[in-house]
Amino acid sequence: MVATKRAPRSPLPKTTPPPAPRRPEETHWGDVALWYDKHVGDEGSEYHREVILPGVLRLLNLDKITSGKPRLLDIACGQGVLCRALAKEGCQVVGIDAAAELIAAAKRRNSGDNLSIDYRVADATKLIEGIGKTADGLRPGSFDAVTIVLSIQNMTPLSPVWHAVWSLLKPKGTLVIVMMHPCFRIPRHSDWMWHEKSLQQQRVVSQYLSSAEVSIVTHPGDAARGLGSSTTTHFHRPLQAYINTLGNAGLFVDRLDEWTSHKVDQAGPKKAAMDKAREEIPLFLALRARKM
């Protein structure tokens, strides 16, 4: 009999047992897959191209991965925009998404090319079967890095995702998360406001610490005209919810970046104030964590 080495256990707090798994939310992104695929395209939206993709590559720092061809997992990969960018950088990429329609779109966009990408339909909240054991044919300890870009706020609960990431990463592997900034972009509880006395564009936040589940109308213009529109679900959480649950899973944040919009306002009397507000109030939050 050949002895097998058991995968290391993901650390959990010693004082309390692990929480009972919560039933994952059903994805609603399949309903908007065609629109989303067209919106993002091959190279990404304007925000992808100008802010997100360059920022993710900086945080991954692929040049420091010396174990051969970097192997990366993109969780909730959508139609594969980040997977394609990573593969073009010379990475072996696995992309997973719970929406079969988006995985189909990703495969269509990769047909005929030689990029090293393996797309699979899989739910990130169900990847873990037991501590140190993962489902969907993903081998523990086999990835140099994991990315979760503009999708963690569509997932609940967080802990099963983090424990799966811990299991799948190599020792000292990297997790990069990008999200809408939870301190300033809170659906129904944050907005821009023009302050007439100070002549400033200001960001107003009316609620932050309370977690909330919010339905987001994909095409509000259609809904306003009574035409109906698909919805997706956004889970707002305060920043501490991410930092603390990551730490509980043995993933410790070593960098936090706040990215602003690259856009500028049209010429006019408010242009300087509008541009200043965009430069000061970040649109995206990026976290990098390491497996410890």
pLDDT confidence of residue 255: 98
124 part of a folded domain:
yes
pLDDT at residue 229 greater than cutoff 80: no
| Distances in whole angstroms, Cα of residue 160 to Cα of each of 14, 64, 133, 156, 258 | 17, 28, 12, 9, 26
Residue 15 has a pLDDT of 44
> Looking at residue 119, what DSSP letter applies?
E
- List pLDDT tens digits, range 234-291: 999 999 999 999 999 999 999 999 999 999 999 999 999 999 999 999 999 999 999 9
> What share of the chain has pLDDT > 90, as a percent?
75
pLDDT value at 26 more than 80 = no
Write a three-state SS string for 29-81.
HHHHHHHHHHHHCCCCCHHHHHHHHHHHHHHHCHHHCCCCCCEEEEECCCCCH
In a domain? residue 148: yes
Query: pLDDT tens for residues 175-219?
Result: 999 999 999 999 999 999 999 999 999 999 999 999 999 998 876
Residue 7 pLDDT more than 60? no
Q: What percent of the chain has pLDDT over 70?
A: 84
Can you tell me the distance from the alpha carbon of 216 to that of 288, in angstroms, rounded to the nearest whole number? 27
Residue 21: pLDDT band with limits 50, 70, 90: very low
Range of the domain at 133: 29-181+236-267+283-291
Q: 10 Å Cβ neighbour count for 253? A: 15
* Residue 165 included in any domain: yes
pLDDT at 23: 40
Q: What is the mean pLDDT of residues 33-49?
A: 94
Which CATH number fits the domain that encloses residue 48? 3.40.50.150
Q: Is pLDDT above 50 for 5?
A: no
| 179-191 residue pLDDT tens | 999 999 999 999 9
Q: Is position 209 within any domain?
A: no
Average pLDDT over residues 105-134: 87
The number of domains in the chain is 1
Query: pLDDT tens digits, residue range 46-83?
Result: 999 999 999 999 999 999 886 789 999 999 999 999 99
**Residue 224 included in any domain:** no
Is residue 42 pLDDT above 60, yes or no?
yes
Integer Cα distance of 46 and 261 in angstroms: 10
Compute the average pLDDT of residues 160-187. Answer: 97
C-alpha to C-alpha distance for 211 and 63, rounded to whole angstroms:
38
* Averaged confidence pLDDT in the chain: 88
CA distance 292 to 7: 14
What pTM was estimated for this model as a whole?
Answer: 0.86
